[in-house]
Structure 1
Amino acid sequence: MFPARLRTGAPLVLAVLALSGCSSHWGCTDTTAERGKAGVRVQIEDVYERPIGVTAEVVDWRLEPHPQVPSEGDQVHFHFRFYGADESSGPGVDACAVDKKRVALGCRTVYSSEAFGPGGDPTGDEWLAVEHPERVAEVLLIPNDQSYDRRTCEQDIKDGGGPHPPKPAGRGDLL
């Protein structure tokens, strides 16, 4: 069906394509860190689950209407602090309002760079809109650094892959 010369050259062409990175998922692997134990105060971990020398803490929280949308009723207003991070860049962690069983009612990622106010105070504040604010028992932080944004194999087979933080926490997750 095909000339002998074409049949003998085909394996060589396939080998060149594979070695050049043109083959599907050849050598590209993604790994995802395990989600750490949530708490009010956590040591932030990198994608290898090692502490990075930064601590995050929920300083306080309360239910109150957001000043820009008071008609939407109570939301969770919380203050957080990062210890050991610098002002320009640093880690981010998921903050979640949870019920008594530690089921997330609403989450968002907060970054250390958002925490620095006037005079270098490493405290910031955020709002979480939750469907049932009366069920909020506490606000917890998840220790995994969410700021590490490396491309996945699916996004870039040649340069992607490697370790990634766990999927960000969301409503319904048990923390």
Structure 2
Amino acid sequence: MFRARVFAGVPLALVMLALSGCSSLWSCTDTTAERGEAGARVRVVDTSGRPLGVTAEVVDWRLEPHPQVPSEGDQVHFRYRFDGADERSGPAVDACAVDKERVALMCQTVYPSQARGRDGDLTGDDWLAVEHPAQVAGVLLIPNDQSYDGRTCEQDSKDGGGQHPPEPAMVGDQL
């Protein structure tokens, strides 16, 4: 008789756990933000799409041999600027060399910490090694902050989950 009462109380205990919020252990969810509109000048946004008060801009770009590996031919050399960013903990954005159809030929993430400050802005330069340099029509930035590194449900089912930046841009992505 005692066993019947104990087992009868089990469903009630589970309902109480669920209602108290303790069930979050079983309902951890990861979501991915939508990729924003790429451009030569973008307002950087957080994972919920809110502007962070930072702009990132491609100042210029050109095809030329990299000075350390000139034998590899032309690569995309681009300069970028962050306005309103903190050089130590500022947001990061993906920079992509694109063709005339805005298809990514090569992408990488750029950070304010890689830039040098001058007159309140942070200007840096980098290189993108594309397979067919003659196809490059421009360099675009994707406005989503890629610096957020929140825990996923897989890494930590108790404290993980939530909104994460979109996957980094890859070769072949339409921007």
> TM bucket by the smaller chain?
0.7 to 0.9
* Match in the other structure for 1:114: 114
TM-score by length of 2: 0.86
Q: Which amino acid aligns with 1:141?
A: L
* Match in the other structure for 1:174: 174
Count residues with an aligned counterpart. Answer: 172
Q: Deviations over 1:86-130 (max 9, x none)?
A: 222100000000000000000000011212257865100011011
Mean CA deviation greater in 129-138 or 115-124:
115-124
> CA RMSD of the aligned region, Å?
2.8
Equivalent pair of 1:148/1:164 in contact (CA under 8 Å) = yes
Cα distance in 2 for partners of 1:22, 1:79 equals 50
* Match in the other structure for 2:69: 69
* Match in the other structure for 1:59: 59
Q: Which amino acid aligns with 2:106?
A: G
* Match in the other structure for 1:156: 156
What SS does the aligned partner of 1:134 have? helix
* Match in the other structure for 1:8: 7
* Match in the other structure for 2:165: 165
The 1:118–1:53 alpha-carbon spacing in structure 2 relative to 1, beyond 3 Å, is closer
Q: Which amino acid aligns with 1:29?
A: T
TM-score by length of 1: 0.86
Cα distance in 2 for partners of 1:121, 1:22 equals 46
Equivalent pair of 1:25/1:153 in contact (CA under 8 Å) = no
* Match in the other structure for 2:86: 86
Cα distance in 2 for partners of 1:109, 1:72 equals 22
Equivalent pair of 1:87/1:120 in contact (CA under 8 Å) = no
* Match in the other structure for 2:38: 38
The 1:146–1:132 alpha-carbon spacing in structure 2 relative to 1, beyond 3 Å, is same
Deviation at 1:69, TM superposition (A): 1.3
Cα distance in 2 for partners of 1:10, 1:103 equals 59
Cα distance in 1 for partners of 2:72, 2:64 equals 10
Structure 2's unaligned 5+ residue stretches are none
Q: Which amino acid aligns with 2:141?
A: L
Q: Percent identity?
A: 71
Equivalent pair of 2:24/2:158 in contact (CA under 8 Å) = no
What SS does the aligned partner of 1:122 have? strand
Q: Which amino acid aligns with 1:102?
A: R
The 1:71–1:11 alpha-carbon spacing in structure 2 relative to 1, beyond 3 Å, is farther
Q: Deviations over 1:7-53 (max 9, x none)?
A: 938947x94xx77x998961211111110000000000000101110
